[in-house]
Amino acid sequence: MSITLLIIRRRKSDRQLAKCEISLGVEWRRISYQELREATNDCSETNIIGSFCSVYEGTLSDGLNVAVKVFNFQPDRVTNRFVKESKILSIIRNRNLARIIGCCSNTEFKALILEYMPNGSLEKWLYSHNYFLDMLKRLDMAIDVALALEYLHHGLKFTVLHCDLKPSNVLLNQDMVGHVGDFGIAKLFSQGESFAPTKTLATIGYMSPGDVPYRDS
């Protein structure tokens, strides 16, 4: 099977699934601060996921495994990121985007409760000697990310620019399906809008930062 046919088949099946997910909708769960403390062993270091010390693996009272993204409470910048990411995650419905389960917010604590991805990030699979992805699986990852971006750019009434797409922000579920996550610095464009001022772009375009040469202009 050629790569072109593989991509076309994946796009058709994913679009059908995306429509089904949108029609079903998702209701947020109400999760208390106390339940999150118990779920993550009070945000224990042993529950930290990957390289980000603010994301913890947890198990809710009903046995559901989740990822808890805690926003260290600081002035407006952190609060704005929490509000923005909550807004984006509440309206996107796509098999290749991180799914939100609920949130917890008070004056001193803010967290998003997300679907747990047992296979970690794409970064781990690309750059660790203990993991391996063959060429076909790498192609699957590329298609997963491309479909996620297509949905963000063209599948909504407005456009979402991720602005920080890199292997550490592509998460893999139990079936090794790629999910784009971390919308903390994403930009939203309303209908007809083609420009939005920004001071934060974590990556140059859509790529892993790697070794990017910088020159004074």
Amino acid in position 26? V
**Listed residue (164, 178, 65, 161) closest to 119, CA to CA:** 178
Q: Hunting for tokens 């690309």 — which residue is that?
A: 126
Is 164 catalytic? The answer is: yes
**Listed residue (149, 175, 164) closest to 207, CA to CA:** 164
**Listed residue (56, 63, 30, 53) closest to 41, CA to CA:** 56
Yes or no: say if 182 and 169 are a contact pair by the CB < 8 Å rule: yes
Q: Hunting for tokens 């509440």 — which residue is that?
A: 90
Among the listed residues 164, 175, 182, 216, the single catalytic one is 164
Residues marked as catalytic: 164
